[in-house]
Amino acid sequence: MSSKINLGVPKFILKMGNPTERYVYEFGDFRLDAGHRMLYHKDEELSLAPKAVETLVALVERRGEIMSKDELLEVVWPDAVVEESNLFVYLSVLRKTLGTQENGDPWVETRRRRGYRFSGDVRLVLAQNGGNGIPYIKPAALRLVHTPSDVATTMPENATSETRPAKRTTLRTVYAGAGLALVIAAVAFAYQYFVASNHSTDTDAYLLYNRGLPYTLRLTELEIRTGLDYLYQAVAKDPAYAKAYAAIARAHLFLGIACEADPSEFVRARDAARKAIELDGTLAEGHSALAGVAFFYDREFTQAESLYKRALELDPKSSTAHQQYADFLNKTGRHDEGRAEIARAMELEPTSPFINAFYAASIRDDKGALEQIRLALNQSPNNYVVHLFAGEIYRRNEMYDEAVAELRGAKELSPEQTWSDVALIEVLVHVGKTDEARMIVDGMLLDSKTRYIPPTHFALAYKELGDRNKAHAYFEEAYTTHDPKIVFLNEPRWNDRDDPRYQELLRRVGFTL
């Protein structure tokens, strides 16, 4: 953590408060403010990640030309080396947001093996002080540009008390009003809040962390990568920001477990977790993130448990560490211990959608599990993970229509993930709709030609369809490629006790039979 304590007021720059000359592009019903990285549809601002808008600006400014992926990466991330998957995610979001033109052609075209092109008519307007033909934007629609200096002015939904910068506001007010005694008090407060709580004393780094963390907890790939953009900016501002490195590690873990990202995300998670621990060996989040890498990627179960326990020694009130340790215990067959850990996590953070859903699934009593998951659904109707857990609980209670509805809902909320596809295949096969289940597998196979889908998901799908040979081939691929989903195989619902090849695979993964 940086030792530089900055008590100055952050330089919040409201760029729309003093408009300067800038370009605005209009196409169809859309208006793109290139200077402020804002996209509007019929005068209503659309909520897009900053990098998604920057990708669109790059394409529009070279409309009619084909831009290769390398060119786009260079323009959108000029000072960073990032994975191509980041670009693909934002291009997918743009296609879904913009849709098609009146003639049916997409605004953003993919030119196979060549790149991407923005097509269609674009009207360029030079905007100055809101004039020159640009429709007036209501004051309520104006917001700060997401630059490092103003990045914390708009908090994402579901921000937790850990991420609120309210104490910073108090500090700035005290400093601005100030006699010497108040300045001394402010210094004491800064030391207690920032140093003792492991937060950066660099204002911009702290605010970037504040902005990014809530996005990473929503568990969809786009939002996690949006959060990572901010977190990486935070550690660029303060290279000694251990807490931000731990958040980066956890975000990469989420990409590998909750999303469909390549297993290489775990290598990044390991690097970030080790950096966090190197900077601050007392940080529980760093140890729990490294434990996740040891369990899901390295399959070093003993090391993973040791790290989870160390995290809980360092911070017994860490709901994250209790939940992750509970998951480890359940997957290794120690269900009673796992229930105790998730119950503790629930006590510590009863408002977390993920912990609520996980807790509901751990309840043995069917009635109690149904009541808890319905509470979680009411609390977080737009969280795909909650719907996924609901589908499993309904399936367990033989409420198949409800299970199908919840699993389809999870897919609608997060179309890229295939966990809900696998769970839906299981239900459909059980109720005799095998043809529909096979169609879902065919769709997964088609998607796998253009993006990564975990081999374990194909293995489980073919297992449900009764094709043990194909299932075994995909299980072997999952094992050799370090697919993290393979640690789910020990769960009773997936365990094929009658197939000796399956039992041998479980032994190789590290499970005790």
Q: Residue 334: how many CB atoms within 10 A of its CB?
A: 15
- Is 147's pLDDT higher than 80? no
Residue found by looking up tokens 């492991």 in the block? 198
Average pLDDT (159-169) is 40
Sign of CA dihedral 396, 398, 400, 406: negative
Half-sphere exposure (Cβ direction) of 140: Cα atoms closer than 13 Å: 2
Whether the predicted pLDDT of 277 surpasses 70: yes
The domains of the chain, with CATH numbers, are: 21-127 (1.10.10.10)
pLDDT band (50, 70, 90) for residue 80: low
List pLDDT tens digits, range 16-45. 333 334 578 888 889 998 877 889 988 888
Highest mean pLDDT among 43-52, 125-134, 394-403: 394-403
CA angle (231, 232, 237) in 5-degree steps: 95
Phi, psi (rounded to 5 degrees) for 19? -55, 140
Q: Which of 134-148, 247-261, 316-330, 476-490 has the lowest mean pLDDT?
A: 134-148
The predicted pLDDT at position 513 comes to: 58
- Binned at pLDDT 50, 70 and 90, residue 83 comes out as low
Mean pLDDT, range 151-170, rounded to an integer: 38
Over range 132-144, report the average pLDDT. 31
Average pLDDT on 152-180 reads 40
Counting beta carbons within 10 angstroms of the beta carbon of residue 485, is it exposed (0 to 12), middle (13 to 18) or buried (19 or more)?
buried
Where do we find the tokens 């000072």? 79
What does each C-alpha distance from 246 to 159, 292, 302, 409, 451 come to in angstroms? 18, 12, 21, 32, 27
Supply the pLDDT for residue 191: 41
Per-residue pLDDT tens digits for 284-306: 999 999 999 999 999 999 999 99
Which amino acid makes up residue 275? K
Record the tokens describing residue 73, joined without a space. Answer: 């990466």
pLDDT greater than 90 at residue 307 = yes
Q: Answer with the residue of higher pLDDT: 445 or 7.
A: 445
pLDDT score at 22: 56
Output the pLDDT for position 8: 35
- For residues 44 and 47, which has the higher predicted lDDT (pLDDT)? 44
**Higher pLDDT pick, 390 / 511:** 390
For residue 388, give every residue at least 6 positions away whose Cβ sits within 8 Å of its Cβ, in sequence order, or none.
357, 406, 407, 410, 419, 420, 423
pLDDT score, position 382: 85
> 409-414: long-range contacts at Cβ-Cβ below 8 A with a sequence spacing of 24 or more?
409/384, 410/384, 410/385, 411/384, 413/220, 413/382, 413/383, 413/384, 413/387, 414/219, 414/220, 414/384
Q: Coil, strand or helix: which one is 109?
A: strand
- CA dist 144 and 123 (Å) reads 25
Name the band, by pLDDT with cuts 50, 70 and 90, for residue 445. Answer: very high
The CA-atom distances, in angstroms, between 437 and each of 31, 432, 461 are 42, 9, 9
Question: Measuring CA to CA, which residue among 348, 278, 362 is closest to residue 315?
Answer: 348
Give me the pLDDT at residue 4, please. Answer: 39
Tokens of 223: 């939002």
**Average pLDDT score, the chain:** 80
How many other CB atoms are found less than 10 A from the CB of residue 4?
A: 11
pTM above 0.75, yes or no: no
Q: For 206-227, write each residue's pLDDT tens digit.
A: 889 988 988 888 888 888 999 9
Residue 3, pLDDT > 50, answer no
CA pair distance 215, 141, nearest whole angstrom: 22
